[in-house]
Amino acid sequence: MRRLLPLLLLVVVLPARAALFDDEEARKRVDLLRTEINARVDKLEAASRGQIELANQIEALKAEVAKLRGQVEVLTHEIETTQKRQKDFYVDLDNRLRKLEPQTATEAKPAAVDPAAETRDYEAALNLFKSGKHKDALAAFLGFIKTYPASPFLPSAHYWAGSAHYQLGEYKKALELFARLAATWPDDAKAPDALLGQANCQQESGDAKGARKTLETLVAKYPASAAASVAKQRLAKRR
């Protein structure tokens, strides 16, 4: 009987230890699986947060682009004006001097235009427009056109006066100024922009057919201009 006792204990203990080892292995596997699942969930959550942040950044950039579009045109115009001013200033001054022919003692001598005052008045009107004071800017540009009928800024003054009319919802008057610019100064840097403005006025006035024709004219006459690129996009959308 004493000899059988160790054997009986061995029979009882071995299955118990085996069961214990099986339970520990199972727990280890469960813990490993739980760790893997948590890691995957964390990865998915991080990816989701990244997508949300990216979407927010895209929307913010879109808003910033929309805000800057209005400023781009003004800045581009200022650069073009500065370049044109440097090129045309002395030519314009020479032409004015040629017109100042000697007068007789009984004739009144015409007053010469002060280039500094001319530039100052133009820039003052442009600053009003950039500040959103479209009504005041319109009055300033119309006054400029009347005061300086031979100014090299005359095409641009017509453009900004037309733009002020447009901002005030006066599309017919805006269209007249844009059309006058395009017809009178077809080689000026603002001529393509004037045609685009004219198309905008026609569209706002319900003349879709006329707007399309003006856009087609713009693309045909000034294919390399920034305004023509905008016109091409609009024409493509209307097909």
Compute mean pLDDT per 10 residues along the chain, 239 residues long, and list them.
53 54 72 83 82 80 64 57 50 49 43 87 97 97 97 97 97 97 97 97 96 97 96 88
74 closest CA partner among 164, 169, 160: 160
Say how far apart CA 23 and CA 145 lie, in whole Å. Answer: 96
Domain that holds residue 41: 19-62
What does the pLDDT read at residue 91?
45
Q: For residue 67, is it within any domain?
A: no
The verdict on 126 and 56 lying in the same domain is no
> Does 229 map to a domain?
yes
Whole-number pLDDT of residue 110: 45
Domain assignment present for 176:
yes
The answer to whether the beta carbons of residues 116 and 124 sit under 8 Å apart is no
**What pLDDT sits at residue 117?**
94
| Amino acid sitting at position 23 | D
Q: How many Å apart are CA 230 and CA 238, to the nearest integer?
A: 13
Same-domain status, 144 and 226: yes
For residue 138, give the CATH number of its domain.
1.25.40.10
Q: Which of 142, 33, 129 is nearest to 74 (CA)?
A: 129
pTM above 0.95, yes or no: no
Instruction: Classify residue 88: in a domain, yes or no.
Output: no
Strand, helix or coil for residue 170 = coil
Residue 3 within a domain = no
**How many domains in the chain?**
2
- The pLDDT assigned to 78 comes to 59
